[in-house]
Structure 1
Amino acid sequence: MTFPGATTDRDVANFVVVGAPLDASTTFQPGTRFGPDRVRQFSRTFEDYDHRYDARFSDLGVHDHGDVRAWNDAPDYLDYLEGVVTDVLLDDAVPVLVGGEHTVSVAAVRAVDPDVFVALDAHLDLREAYDGDPYSHSTVTRHALDVADEAVVVGARSGSGSEWERAAEADVTVVEPDEAADWNPDFGERSVYCSVDVDAADPAFAPGTGTPEPGGLTSRELRSLVADLAPQSVAFDVVEVNDRDDGQAALLGGKLLRDFVFAHAEHADAQN
């Protein structure tokens, strides 16, 4: 199963979708191994044409690489996935990952080496480890800061005491849910990696995720944020979709992926 409209040959693609079905450290509701295919499946309901951009998704040069099959050794898997994303970059295409647990973002961030890591996420993900696992999905922002100069977590409303202390340092910015609508994501000439953990959404909009947290963003707010971030972003992912709902999280994930591609492509066309 390929993402609907991702019909362009790899050697001429502008965007490459990569499924990363890692499901090793989810702490509450597992099932992210099913995320990539659920996002593809439920995106079949969308029209190819989007009137806001006056464009067809199938005309934007999207290729679906398929899934990079996951195994239990997360560090080893991340090394391999980093190589897959690096190949996408070497082909002058924009990587678009579909998870899988949020840990998969670590591989893509290492490959892309952005200036700024922006995560739309309910959780700070600044832990050193969780249950002794330094590659838990709750450590992603910390790992990203090993590469990026700055991290911005939008929609955050959950974290340990030590995580909030770390978030108070100069290289981390937290935009809480009630501030998100007024946030202006302007990073100038700096490169941005945009990561969407679907639990940034309120569970009313995306219950199918591992660690749902009430009080989150609406689907409309998330779509607006992704569209604003896309022109500044050199890569994108949507993660933490599982099979524990009737497709709401997968629908939102697929729509956000499309929003990113439409907005990024429109900006690229305007620059040419």
Structure 2
Amino acid sequence: MFPGATTDREAASYVVVGAPLDATTTFQPGTRFGPDRVRQFSESYDDYDRRTASRFTDLGVHDAGDVHPWDDVPAYLDHLAAELRSVVLDDAVPATIGGEHTVTYAGVEAVDPDVLVVLDAHLDLRDAYGGNEWNHACVTRRALDVVDHAYVVGARTGSAAEWDRAEADDVTVVPPEDAGEWARSMQEDGILDGDSIYLSIDVDAADPGYAPGTGTMEPFGLAPRELRDAVRAVAPYAEGVDVVEVNDRDDGQTAALAGKLLREFVFTHAAEA
């Protein structure tokens, strides 16, 4: 169970769902261990949050356990989307813990937002990778079949074709050096106000010095405070969230960061509700 997720499913405002998909990782596998590690390394966090003057255990969080994957990725995503859609239909916010980034598509399908905000080192705008259009390197491209616009915050690498796709009107790329100003503008100017948002947090948006336990590390990334500020900026507008791409190849610092960012989302969202 995610620490502090003590509310019954029927009364929950936030429902944590583990999605340990580890089918298309292109470098270092291990995302199947992500949900359990995020839960494990979130155990030490205090219940009380001074900034919002609230307790996590009072915010209506339920942990529904894991939706275990199988070999057919599109079929699994359909099933996962149905599970997450049931959360939405109960007027709760789905909070998915991956698993590889492909699981974000299921969250987007379930929430059906106007806008996807994804914190990510990679553009993930490939039409296919290795002949597979459901590879984790294609997830933002697939999500654009559902959403009207995608913000990719922290992106610093991609193929030539991806950078060309990113020039289209339905994509905004925010490089790491601009992420802080972007977060401030979101908060101060209310740019996202009026849109329904889905937030995806790929931990490789962080510099690997802070989050080495991920499959495809990319240097020159975001600091944890920059990730925190971006999450705080988007959370009031978001109707679903995920944190993805945590694996078991470090001493827990990546899972600890992922769990803290998920808690920051819940604290901020609840305070603004």
TM-score (norm 1): 0.97
2:64 is the alignment partner of 1:59: no
Q: 1:257 aligned to 258, 262, 265, which one?
A: 262
Q: 1:213 aligned to 212, 218, 241, which one?
A: 218
1:72 deviates by: 1.2
Aligned position for 1:154: 153
Aligned position for 1:99: 98
One-letter code aligned to 2:249: R
SS at match of 1:237: strand
Matches within 5 A, 1:218-233: 218-233=223-238
Gaps of 5+ in 1: none
1:72-130 CA distances to partner (integer Å, 9 max, x unpaired)? 11001001001000100111100000000000000110111100001000000000111
One-letter code aligned to 2:212: P
Residues in 2 aligned to 1:49 and 1:37: alpha-carbon distance in whole angstroms: 23
SS at match of 2:218: coil
1:153-206 CA distances to partner (integer Å, 9 max, x unpaired)? 000001000000000111100000000011122212011100000000000110
1:134 deviates by: 0.7
Aligned position for 1:37: 36
Matches within 5 A, 1:1-272: 2-183=1-182, 184-185=185-186, 186-268=191-273
Count of aligned positions: 267
SS at match of 1:45: coil
1:240 deviates by: 0.2
Residues in 2 aligned to 1:50 and 1:28: alpha-carbon distance in whole angstroms: 37
Identity of aligned residues (%): 64
SS at match of 2:239: strand
One-letter code aligned to 2:211: A
One-letter code aligned to 1:244: R
1:47-68 CA distances to partner (integer Å, 9 max, x unpaired)? 1111111111000000000000
User: Segments of 4+ in structure 1 off by > 3 A?
Assistant: none
Residues in 1 aligned to 2:114 and 2:27: alpha-carbon distance in whole angstroms: 32
Point out the more displaced range, 185-194 or 99-108. 185-194
1:234 deviates by: 0.6
Residues in 2 aligned to 1:249 and 1:191: alpha-carbon distance in whole angstroms: 28
